[in-house]
Amino acid sequence: MSKLSSNITNKLVKKLTCALLVSTMAFSAWAISLDDAKQQGLVGEMHNGYLGVVVNSAEAKSLVASVNKKRKEIYLNLARKNKITLQQVTALAGQKALAKTQPGHLIQNAAGQWVKK
């Protein structure tokens, strides 16, 4: 059972990595805005695989809502395909997103505070 679980996890991680790359391409129209927002400290990555608002502004909220809507669609599809829960997918996505966050960009720590990576 452990080997099966490990195999599913490895496949899911590969699919999640591909999905994150695809989602990055899907956001190409916002790529500069998303990068700028991260560089300016307006938004940051959270442990749950979603983007969070750091500075409460209409622009940041709109960007976060758009990005998170697309991420959720991808996560739901991955969960269905792999017959696992959405929470399992978002946990793995959060790990990947935090690992890929550039130094100096903000991430949310376990206490819910925004800190620079």
Contact, 72 vs 80, CB < 8 A? no
Average pLDDT on 41-48 reads 97
Count of domains for the chain: 1
List, in order, residues 6 or more apart from 23 with CB less than 8 Å away: 70, 71, 74
Q: What is the pLDDT of residue 28?
A: 43
Average pLDDT on 85-100 reads 97
Q: What is the pLDDT of residue 8?
A: 66
pLDDT above 60 for 19: no
Domain that holds residue 23: 2-116
**What digits encode the pLDDT tens for the residues 2-18?**
665 666 666 666 666 65
Contact, 77 vs 92, CB < 8 A? no
- Note the pTM of the prediction, 2 decimals: 0.73
**What digits encode the pLDDT tens for the residues 53-72?**
999 998 999 999 999 999 99
The Cα 68–Cα 89 span in angstroms is: 14
pLDDT above 60 for 31: no
